[in-house]
Amino acid sequence: MGNAANACHRTSWAESSLPVSFPQKPKPHMTEVLKPWSGTVLTNNVRSKTILGINPPVHDFAWFDLWSKPLGLLYILEFLRSMDNDVYLIDSLYEARTEALSFGRWKVKKEKICKPEVYRNIPRHYYRFGLSPQELEARLAELPKPDYILVTSAMTYWYGGVFETIESAGKVFPEAKIILGGAYAMLCPEHASKSGADYIQTEPFDKFFPAHPAIDMYEKPGYGVVMTSYGCPMSCQYCASKKLFPDFRQRPVEDVIEDIRFQLSVLSTNTTWHNIAFYDDALLLNKSDRFYPLCEAIMREFPRLTLHTPNGLHVSQIDEECAEMLFRTGFHTLRLSLEGVDDYTEYLSDDKTGKSGYEHTMKALKNAGYSDERLETYILVGLPGQNTDDILRSIDYVKSLGGKPKITEFSPIPGTKMFELALKYFPELAYEPLLHNNTIYAPWVSCSIPPKMMQYFKDRANY
């Protein structure tokens, strides 16, 4: 095994038939003018307008509903609604749901589509998850003519669905102003300027969010989504949280409770149990002053909640008291952010955990009542310079303590230190976000972990 950094070097691309087709650096186009937008123009000046928000379909090799809702867009729509605007929502993923899954989630329709040129030789199918352009245009035609169309974006390498959505929206409503926001727009603004949008969000939303997101715009949503804080005080070198949320801010407990109360009032009523997913990057920080009072309020007011933490919990924050509080409050899905137990991965993760801390956490969670299969633990794989033997040790270490390793494949995210390191070896990352895709980066871009080895890691984690 050995050091993954030496598994493939830049000059080997021309010497081997790799599936990835590395693009040429595009020539600048004088007509591609970036139009920045921080949110002030829209939120301060818009009154009595018709505004449509769209969550695009996803173009990728795979997609799963991990309590996925466009929370930022929903907050903005709620704020605009409070300013006497008429707001509408099309969620191209939710509106293509096909089959109910556990905890209120859904499978969505997927359609095999042509792979982008950069992926042409990768031996996997490529899909559109969500509404097709024809279906989206039919939905658009049902709505009043909007003055503004807000298109959100998530992963940088999902821009295919974003471009497709903007083209359809412009075709149906050519006079509407289209504003592209979200993570992709903020992390890759120059690339996003090619989308056809009139404005690109280049700065974080400059107003504090309203009391709750516009979750009532969904027809019987199966789960709610909550953020008790924005940003993260940690400085993990592979995470873009500080780029997207420069300041770490925690909401008052009473505001979070009011948010949950509103969302529960509109959730599906076909069950006595309701699901809420927390999107926080740092849910447990300042736990005595904030998290414990929040849990006490939840248990007092909403005793039949099933709670989930898909973004991961900081292992170092979970002691016996915290573990018991998590269990009593109804946190069912726990994802623990270990990442790895070697010194290198711990350093990149801002030393937020360690072997001794993880052992203590696992013991506390089991004593509180959690079974082994519910203790999923993230192991980050494919980091530049990561030693593959350390990956195996991390997987085996988690399993030895009864945890369930969950392989997370590294994606180079613009604005992070790891992206800058990867960029030195792969300059194409700067102008082709498709190369950021975590499914293909380590196996087929950096070549640090061959596909068979990646599958071996996943098999070893699961069995």
Name the CA dihedral angle for 290, 226, 256, 250, rounded to a multiple of 10 degrees.
50
Q: Structure tokens of 164?
A: 């497709």
| pLDDT at position 294 over 70 | yes
265 touches 212 (CB < 8 A): no
Nearest to 350 by CA among 238, 250, 231: 238
Nearest to 77 by CA among 170, 214, 193, 209: 214
Q: Structure tokens of 361?
A: 């956490």
Q: Is 339 left (phi over 0), alpha (psi -120 to 50) or beta?
A: left
pTM: 0.91
257 touches 294 (CB < 8 A): yes
Q: What is the mean pLDDT of residues 59-73?
A: 96
Which pLDDT band, with edges at 50, 70 and 90, does 144 fall under?
Answer: very high
Question: Element (H or E) spanning 52, and its range?
Answer: strand 50-55
The position carrying tokens 């946190």 is 331
Task: Please tell me whether residue 33 adopts helix, strand or coil conformation.
Answer: coil
Domains of the chain: 1-29+220-463 (3.80.30.20), 32-206 (3.40.50.280)
b or e along 24-34 (b: 16 or more beta carbons within 10 Å of the residue's beta carbon)? eeeeeeeeeee
Q: What is the pLDDT of residue 202?
A: 85
In order, the DSSP letters of 353-390 are: --HHHHHHHHHHHHHHT--GGGEEEEEEE--TT-BHHH
Instruction: Count each helix (H run) and each strand (E run) in the chain, helices first.
Output: 15, 19
Q: What is the pLDDT of residue 72?
A: 92
Name the CA dihedral angle for 155, 156, 157, 162, rounded to a multiple of 10 degrees.
80
CA dist 361 and 225 (Å) reads: 26
Q: What is the pLDDT of residue 46?
A: 87
CA dist 246 and 241 (Å) reads: 7
Pairing of strands 50-55, 58-60: unpaired
CA dist 415 and 180 (Å) reads: 19
CA dist 71 and 27 (Å) reads: 35
CA dist 196 and 201 (Å) reads: 13
Q: What is the pLDDT of residue 321?
A: 98
The position carrying tokens 């392989």 is 407
159, with CB counted inside 10 A (0-12, 13-18, 19+), is buried
CA dist 52 and 217 (Å) reads: 11
pLDDT mean across residues, the chain: 89
Q: What is the pLDDT of residue 463?
A: 86
How is residue 118 annotated by DSSP? G
Nearest to 283 by CA among 258, 250, 253, 257: 250
Which pLDDT band, with edges at 50, 70 and 90, does 220 fall under?
Answer: confident
212 touches 194 (CB < 8 A): no
Q: What is the mean pLDDT of residues 381-392?
A: 94
Q: Of residues 435 and 29, which shows the higher confidence score?
A: 435
Question: Between 355-368 and 320-329, two packed helices, what is the crossing angle to 10 degrees?
Answer: 40
Q: Structure tokens of 19?
A: 């599936």
Q: What is the pLDDT of residue 146?
A: 98
| pLDDT at position 197 over 90 | yes
| pLDDT at position 271 over 90 | no
Measure the CA angle with vertex 310, ends 309 and 315; round to 5°: 65
| pLDDT at position 252 over 60 | yes
How is residue 145 annotated by DSSP? P
19 touches 122 (CB < 8 A): yes
The answer to which of 56-60, 66-70, 241-245 has the lowest mean pLDDT is 241-245
Nearest to 442 by CA among 1, 39, 2, 5: 5
Question: Element (H or E) spanning 278, and its range?
Answer: strand 274-278
Nearest to 183 by CA among 158, 150, 155, 213: 155
Q: Of residues 109 and 16, which shows the higher confidence score?
A: 109
Can you give the C-alpha Rg of the chain in angstroms?
A: 22
Task: Please tell me whether residue 122 adopts helix, strand or coil conformation.
Answer: coil
400 touches 364 (CB < 8 A): no
